[in-house]
């Protein structure tokens, strides 16, 4: 469940919530996903949109492996190398291409960072997923 209480500023964009509440059950932690495909090949060298789309595809694949829906994400962190204001729309448009109408609205962080673990990586996304207790 997501909350945007009236005592807090409303989200700037409808892609996150101020508070996410995980139902009782297990949590799954998705490691930082970068723009590599299932064969380990970089996708979109020097291209933020292509790299973000691959990161979101990797998140979607992790959700599928968990038999979870995007709505079960309770936390997402998006790291962008050398972030500039205009990159926010590029990153979120790439995510919408992947998730369509099922964007994972949750408590999220969008960070500009100096570098990631490899000089070719421009975007890295991780997440926390709430799973049913019966898992």
- For the stretch 23-48, pLDDT in tens is 778 898 999 999 999 899 999 999 99
Taking the domains of the chain in order of start, what are their residue ranges?
Answer: 34-132
Task: Give which of 106, 84, 134 is closest to 95, Cα–Cα.
Answer: 106
34-132 under CATH 3.90.950.10, yes or no: no
In the 8-state DSSP scheme, what is residue 29? E
What tens digit of pLDDT does each residue of 48-90 get?
999 999 999 999 999 999 999 999 999 999 999 999 999 999 9
Q: Tokens standing for 44?
A: 């979109």
CB 120 within 8 A of CB 20: no
Tell me: pLDDT of 135 over 60. Answer: no
Report residue 111's pLDDT band, with 50, 70 and 90 as the boundaries: very high
Look up the pTM and report it.
0.86
């Amino acid at each position: 469940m997501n909350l945007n209480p009236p005592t807090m500023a409303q989200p700037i964009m409808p892609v996150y919530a101020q508070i996410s509440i995980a139902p009782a059950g297990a949590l799954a932690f998705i490691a930082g996903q970068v723009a590599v495909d299932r064969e380990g090949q970089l996708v979109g060298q020097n291209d933020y949109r292509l790299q973000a789309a691959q990161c979101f595809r990797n998140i979607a694949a992790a959700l599928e492996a968990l038999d979870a829906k995007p709505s079960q994400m309770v936390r997402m962190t998006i790291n962008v190398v050398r972030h500039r204001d205009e990159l926010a729309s590029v990153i979120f448009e790439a995510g919408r291409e992947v998730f369509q109408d099922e964007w994972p609205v949750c408590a999220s962080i969008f960070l500009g960072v100096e570098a990631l673990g490899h000089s070719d990586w421009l975007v890295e996304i991780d997440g926390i997923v709430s799973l049913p207790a019966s898992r």
